[in-house]
């Protein structure tokens, strides 16, 4: 199985369709990210075997690789429910590669007890992806509590100066927690690929 990703945000339906046809001919698994609901539904008409995941804006076509681990290898945290779309993109990309995941929603530092209550569960994972908007503090806080590799995933949610995710990105990059890995804003797929590289190391 070969997974080939494609970003659908700036491609036309026709362009995505041509790419998917090539994947079909070669019996390859495909992942299209950043699709609107309208594009996703139109592509399903042409590719009925595909699946559109509305929350993440992803379309998958082909078989998911079988998970070989009985435990969740990657835990994905979200600071709030607004982070769910990007977190789901990361989760789908990992699951396609046969990586077992668990998604923990709404454990942001605004209510620190929510994070502390799940700490033992989080420690069971080999890698943690942490999605956070606003000031992006969650991965820094978590890095001070556990030794596992953490991937900070800034999210373009928030208001005022936090809008667009730049504040979260800069906050994570300026973190005093050593070894925190940070990917670009809303880059769920990139965070998933970074996690896989860590797992394979």
Task: Please give the chain's pLDDT, 201 residues, in tens.
Answer: 445 556 778 889 999 999 999 988 988 899 999 999 999 999 999 999 999 999 999 999 988 888 877 777 999 999 888 899 999 999 999 999 999 999 999 998 888 889 999 999 999 999 999 999 999 999 999 999 999 999 999 999 878 888 899 999 999 999 988 889 999 999 999 999 999 999 998
Reference 141, options 105, 180, 185; nearest CA is 180
Alpha helix (H) residue ranges in 54-153: 84-96, 112-116, 119-122, 138-143
Same domain, 105 and 49: no
Within-domain flag for 69 = no
Task: Give the pLDDT confidence score for residue 5 in this predicted structure.
Answer: 59
Name the domain count of the chain: 2
Task: Give the pLDDT confidence score for residue 6 in this predicted structure.
Answer: 67
Within-domain flag for 196 = yes
Within-domain flag for 50 = yes
Name, in order, each residue with C-beta under 8 angstroms of 201's C-beta and a sequence gap of 6 or more: none
Domain boundary among 38, 61, 84: 61
Same domain, 121 and 45: no
CATH number, domain at 194?
Answer: 3.40.50.1970
Domain that holds residue 20: 3-61
Burial class (CB in 10 A: 0-12, 13-18, 19+), 117: exposed
Burial class (CB in 10 A: 0-12, 13-18, 19+), 200: exposed
Structure tokens at 69: 């681990």
Same domain, 175 and 98: yes
Reference 135, options 196, 80, 190; nearest CA is 80
């Amino acid at each position: 199985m070969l997974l080939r990703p494609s970003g659908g945000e700036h491609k036309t339906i026709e362009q995505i369709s041509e790419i998917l046809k090539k994947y079909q001919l070669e019996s390859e698994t495909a992942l299209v990210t950043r699709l609107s609901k309208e594009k996703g539904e139109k592509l399903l008409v042409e590719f009925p075997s595909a699946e559109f995941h509305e929350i993440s804006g992803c379309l998958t076509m082909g078989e998911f690789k079988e998970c070989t681990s009985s435990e969740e290898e990657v835990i994905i945290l979200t600071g709030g429910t607004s982070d769910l779309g990007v977190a789901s993109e990361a989760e789908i990309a990992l699951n396609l590669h046969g990586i077992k995941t668990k998604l923990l929603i709404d454990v942001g530092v605004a209510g620190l007890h929510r994070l502390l209550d799940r700490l033992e569960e989080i420690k069971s994972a080999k890698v943690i992806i942490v999605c956070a908007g606003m000031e992006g503090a969650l991965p820094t806080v978590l890095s001070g509590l556990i030794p596992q590799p953490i991937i900070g995933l800034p999210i373009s949610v928030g208001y005022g100066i936090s809008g667009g995710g730049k504040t979260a990105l800069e906050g994570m990059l300026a973190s005093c927690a050593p070894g925190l890995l940070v990917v670009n804003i809303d880059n769920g797929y990139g965070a998933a690929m970074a996690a896989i590289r860590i797992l394979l190391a």
